[in-house]
Structure 1
Amino acid sequence: MSKSRKWFGSDSAQSSAEQDDRVAVSLSHLRSLEFSARGFSFSPRQPVRSILSGQHASRLRGRGLNFEELRHYRPGDDIRTMDWKVTNRTGKPHVRVYTEERERRVYLLVDQRISMFFGSERAMKSAVAAELAALAAWRILGEGDRVGALIFDDEQCHHFTPRRSREGVLNILKQLERSNAALTAGCRANAKQLNLAADALLRHVTHDALVICIGDGFGWDEGTDEMVKRLSLHNDVIAIDVFDPAERELPALKELVVSDGESQIVVAGTREELQKRFEERHLQHVQHMREAFQRFGLPLIEIDTVGDPLKQLQRALGTQP
């Protein structure tokens, strides 16, 4: 590895508490992010530079509409609200009246599988994903909307019904802490769990919700494409791709020792050969995810493990240049 890049955990000047939060976040750290969750928003009104604005991607739908009542047509009513079936049956013009929902449902789909347990510099991807989820949850709650989550690891999914309360957010953060703490080098990867989690989310999300997917896209395939397409038909979908720079550019070494936590092998060859093989195999799922979101016209935000997650969110959502 080049001198400019240090593997995570090599800085002895860091305190043990800070080191722990970069490997496995604590509940106290996630709670503290409430006071810094500012300068970005997932609301339909976005700054011009935001990736969620109309110039860069399809606008967010915002809150949905609830049916209120049927009543007689009055001069000035929008003809598009006419209920023609009732009008034909009664012989008198009727309109359907809707009211805007006072709060929107937001779901966080957070990946906490072993593929996220990697970091070459500042923090593990799993820890950054947990921080991003906490920042999003606190911000959504601050905007008066309900926030729920589906947090999944390599074995199971944890569902939290959207609620507009601090208790609801804290329940999500507690599970993020537990999921972070459970990740160890000996865990076995389960690529199929992504689709199982997406399928579970589809059973809970109906319409006019905002779904924020936070992860690295490991295991993304044609089945994932179909589920995201179904989700986006009646909901807004945003993906936050969490990546580490070392995943995109291999260190300048003639050979690498690669381990899955139980066994290890030596990968030899020229740097060009290694880089090509690495990109073809390891980043295939990432490219598939990017192409799917581009094809469906959905926004994709890229967050690395080196910079401050909050500042990166603020830049992506247009509040910082």
Structure 2
Amino acid sequence: MSQSAVYSDLSRLNAWRFHVKQLKLGHQQRIVMQSNGARPSPRKGRGMEFSEVRLYQPGDDVRHIDWKVSARSQHTHTKLFSEEHERPVVFVVEQSACLFFASQHCFKSVLALDIMALLAWATLNQEDRVGGLVFGESASHWVEPKRQAKSLLHLFNHALNQNQQLTRPGQGDNQAWLNALNKVAPLVHPASRIILVGDCLNLDNACHGVLRQLAKHTAITAIHCEDPIETSLPASHSLALSDGETEFYLDGQNTQQQQGYQNAYQQAWLNQQSSLSRFGIALCRVSTADKPIEALIKQRLLRR
């Protein structure tokens, strides 16, 4: 593979801007429906989603008064709503050793940054705020969501710093995801949209606990980066696989091993999808064998 397939750079991330000039983020509701196989349901209200409750102010719509909160507090409160396309978009992107490999096109770590860049530029296209953090081999830095390309470049620079520190493949670190989510949780404003990008099969029960709380007041999409060699074994008499610490061999022409390998991955995917769907979180996936823009459009993560 070429150097650009192993490590990303600023010119690559900036170039995606011109590929999505006519694109915007997909609607969260449609992504959830497609991901979970749900039927379309009518959108409630006037395309608005609940944001928060605050004290009533002259001029507020009386139809939005929260009578339960008002009765409990003895002060009139009103519900605030925000349109989906006005939401701040927060990225939580992985750059750990488990993404530092691929069998096709580019490393999963590079793919994760491509996905972030494509969706981030699309966010700015619709004049939304964008920010977040990228976690990996060193301390992560929070970038406050802003409606500025300059702010997005700060996020890119932090991402590339994490990317350049990867040197060898390794096992996934569930604690890294948990630490990142715990760091983001108190910083995210209600009604934000959170997009997770990385090896989302490493989101464990502790991560689910944080995500469940976040999903109460934010919309969350998880995008899993995968490689074809993870989903099925290539036809080979002897295939050496390694997790960065130990090495083992599989017979790619052994039908039983092939099927067992595929079943294990598919079951892990279905289990994660089922767990996240309980919180209203869509789980999507993009492969290193895919063309990123086409894959994102197909899964309604991007729209024209």
Distance verdict in 2 for CA 1:57–1:235, change over 3 Å: farther
Q: Distance in 2 between matches of 1:281 and 1:144?
A: 42
* Equivalent residue number for residue 239 of structure 2: 256
Q: Does 1:275 align with 2:275?
A: no
1:232 aligns with: 215
- Once structures 1 and 2 are overlaid, which stretch shifts more, 64-73 or 81-90? 81-90
Q: Match of 1:120, SS? A: coil
The alignment status of 1:299 with 2:286, answered yes or no, reads: no
Relative to structure 1, the CA distance from residue 38 to residue 54 in structure 2 (aligned partners, 3 Å threshold; closer, same or farther) is: farther
Match status 1:167 vs 2:150: yes
Tell me by how many angstroms 1:180 deviates.
Answer: 2.0
Amino acid at match of 2:221: I
Displacement of 1:140 after TM fit? 0.8
Of the candidates 102, 106, 125, which is equivalent to residue 108 of structure 2? 125
Question: Do structure 1's residue 190 and structure 2's residue 177 form an aligned pair?
Answer: no
Aligned equivalents of 2:62, 2:6: Cα separation in 1: 58
On the 8 A contact 2:201/2:224 being kept in 1, the answer is no
| Aligned residue number for residue 24 of structure 1 | 7
Q: CA 1:57 to 1:175, structure 2 compared with 1: closer, same or farther past 3 Å?
A: farther
The alpha-carbon distance between structure 1 residues 46 and 261, as it changes in their structure 2 partners (threshold 3 A), is: closer
- Following superposition of structure 1 onto structure 2, how do residues 77-92 of structure 1 map, counting pairs within 5 Å? 77-78=62-63, 80=65, 85=70
Q: Of 14, 19, 25, which aligns to 1:36?
A: 19
TM-score normalised according to structure 2 size? 0.80
Compare 305-314 and 252-261 and name the one that shifted more.
252-261
Instruction: Quote the Cα distance in structure 2 between the aligned partners of 1:298 and 1:49.
Output: 7
CA, structure 1 residues 149+251, in 2 after alignment: closer, same or farther (shift >3 Å)? same
Q: Secondary structure at the match of 1:158?
A: coil
Length-normalised TM-score, structure 1: 0.77
- Pairwise mapping of residues 129-148 of structure 1 onto structure 2 (< 5 A)? 129-148=112-131
After superposition, the C-alpha distances for 1:62-102 in whole angstroms (9 at most, x for unaligned) are 583674743499xx942745688589979xxx674857589
Pairwise CA RMSD: 3.9
Q: CA deviation at 1:138?
A: 0.9
Contact 1:121 1:305 in 2 (8 A): yes
Q: State the 1:212 CA deviation.
A: 0.6
* 1:211 pairs with 2:194: yes
Question: Is the Cα contact below 8 Å between 1:50 and 1:316 reproduced in 2?
Answer: no
- Do residues 64 (structure 1) and 51 (structure 2) align? yes
TM-aligned CA deviation for residue 47 of structure 1: 7.4
Q: Which ranges in structure 2 are unaligned for 5 or more consecutive residues?
A: none
Larger Rg: 1
Tell me what 1:4 maps to: none
Change (3 A) 1:285 1:158: farther
Deviation at 1:127, TM superposition (A): 0.8
Distance 2:73 2:29 in 1: 42
Please list every run of 5 or more consecutive structure 1 residues that lacks an aligned counterpart in the other structure: 1-8, 10-18
**Kept after mapping to 1: 8 A contact 2:124/2:148:** yes
Deviations 1:38-59 (A, max 9, x none): 4543364887998389845897
2:226 pairs, out of 237, 243, 246, with 243
More helix by share: 2
The partner residue of 1:289 within 272, 290, 294 is: 272
Q: What is the SS of the residue equivalent to 1:169?
A: helix
Q: Note if contact 2:91-2:194 (Cα within 8 Å) is conserved in structure 1.
A: yes
Range moving further from structure 2, 109-118 or 267-276:
267-276
Post-superposition offset of 1:253: 2.2
Matches of 2:268 and 2:215, distance apart in 1: 20
